[in-house]
Amino acid sequence: MAGGCRPCPESETSDLAEVLTTQLGRGDRATQLSLSRALVALGEPIEPSALNSADPRVRQHAMATQQLMRDPDSGFEFAIDEAKRLVALGQEE
């Protein structure tokens, strides 16, 4: 297909989301924002394993991405700061 991308079949989208989810919590803010945007664009739910990870950075990033899925207008900075607060207080959803 010249000049464009074809949509991914549903199984490829799920597989890609699963792989991207393994990268949650890594990198700097720009990397995390890019990863969150990619996951939001795929529209796949965040893996429960990421939301329950022993690593607080993974949990924070997963929660922030989940917030962006629910409310894309909230912004990444707000979402990540809120997730950090909730993780610190032990109030994860």
The span from the CA of 38 to the CA of 81, in Å, is 20
The span from the CA of 13 to the CA of 10, in Å, is 5
pLDDT per 10-residue tile (average), the chain, 93 residues: 56 88 94 94 90 94 93 87 90 64
- How much is the pTM? 0.80
The span from the CA of 87 to the CA of 57, in Å, is 9
Q: What is the DSSP string of 46-83?
A: PPHHHHT-SSHHHHHHHHHHHHHHH-GGG-HHHHHHHH
Predicted confidence (pLDDT) per residue in 59-80, tens digit: 999 999 999 999 988 888 889 9
With residue 88 as reference, give the H or E element that holds it.
helix 76-89
